[in-house]
Structure 1
Amino acid sequence: MSAYRTVVVGTDGSESSLRAVARAGALAGACGATLVVACAFLPTGTDERELSRAQDVLGDEAYQVVGSSPAEETVRTAVERAAAAGAGAVRSLAVAGSPVEVLLDVVRREQADLLVVGNRGLNSIKGRLLGSVPADATRRSACDVLVVHTTG
């Protein structure tokens, strides 16, 4: 089996997601892979009712990033964290949409062979009942998925 060539990792700027970014950066650096850091965001024109509904269903982690400017800052911070962990070639994307859909679309477009996600949400009752970003992305991904233990 050959080493990974393209690794995708998602971030919402939380410390938990940045731990996954650091692990993805270290892995990409060790493999000589390109790392693509993706951040899903909710467009600023979205009404408060829609944001509230998303947070009711997905919890406080839903759409932690609202607007493209905060998303750009989020990926900038994540790229720095990935580089400090050893990543060489790093690209970033801020994409409007739901976290799982954005991650899966980036994996497809980038022809990634590894998706890295943190485990936040996997062990909560809400995550078990309604699904979580790591669980949904793992179940639906067409490539290998690494779930990084990012919560204490």
Structure 2
Amino acid sequence: MATYRTILVGTDGSTSSFGAVTRAASLAAATGATLVLACAYAPMRERERSAAADVLGDLSYKVTGSTPADDALRAAREHAVAAGAGAIELAAEEGDAVDVLVALAGRRGADLVVVGNRGLNTLAGRLLGSVPSGVSQRAGCDVLIVHTTHGR
């Protein structure tokens, strides 16, 4: 059996992604691996940023830049700690989720990338590709796709 030293898991802050975080954290705890929690985000257009500032006022920082990704990572960290992970690192990066996860896995020397299965069983996922499918095709290490959603 492979020994994992660095496990990278993607999260978007959704309940289903926290299932993948919990599984990755359990594996990290069992193997003594470092757990890297990763979240990709898209930059907000200037027009959207202005509209948010008008509506939210002083709280507009909560929806700009990497703040939503940082919030998702903080929540994911709580799940990881609860599942027993010790060494935890956070990474919020701008870009497409597949690109970010594959690049981070390479830069961090990940032995395993963990993602949820959301999108695999949807029509859009089959036609356009999904995060789990893209990561499994492009990552240079093992990929674990965790069953986090219930579909047909």
**Alignment TM class, shorter chain as reference:** 0.7 to 0.9
Match of 1:11 in 2: 11
Distance 1:105 1:11 in 2: 15
Distance 1:127 1:2 in 2: 30
Distance 2:64 2:121 in 1: 25
The alignment's C-alpha RMSD in Å is 1.5
Post-superposition Cα deviations, 1:59-78, rounded to whole Å, max 9, x if no partner, equal xxxxxx86311111110110
Aligned residue type for 1:35: L
- Note the C-alpha offset of 1:2: 4.3
Distance 1:14 1:42 in 2: 16
Relative distance call for 1:30 and 1:76 in structure 2 (3 A) is same
Post-superposition Cα deviations, 1:14-61, rounded to whole Å, max 9, x if no partner, equal 00101000100001100000000000011123666xxxxxxxxxxxxx
Unaligned runs of at least 5 residues, structure 1: 49-64
Match of 1:87, SS state, is coil
TM-score normalised by structure 1 residue count? 0.85
Distance 1:66 1:7 in 2: 28
Match of 2:35 in 1: 35
- Note the C-alpha offset of 1:98: 0.6
TM-score normalised by structure 2 residue count? 0.85
Larger Rg: 2
Contact 1:120 1:151 (C-alpha < 8 Å) held by counterparts:
yes
Aligned residue type for 2:124: K
1:135 equivalent among 133, 136, 143: 133
Match of 2:86 in 1: 88
Match of 1:70 in 2: 68
Relative distance call for 1:18 and 1:66 in structure 2 (3 A) is farther
Contact 1:36 1:90 (C-alpha < 8 Å) held by counterparts:
yes
- Note the C-alpha offset of 1:129: 1.2
- Note the C-alpha offset of 1:86: 1.1
Match of 1:58 in 2: none
Percent sequence identity over aligned pairs: 57
Aligned residue type for 2:44: T
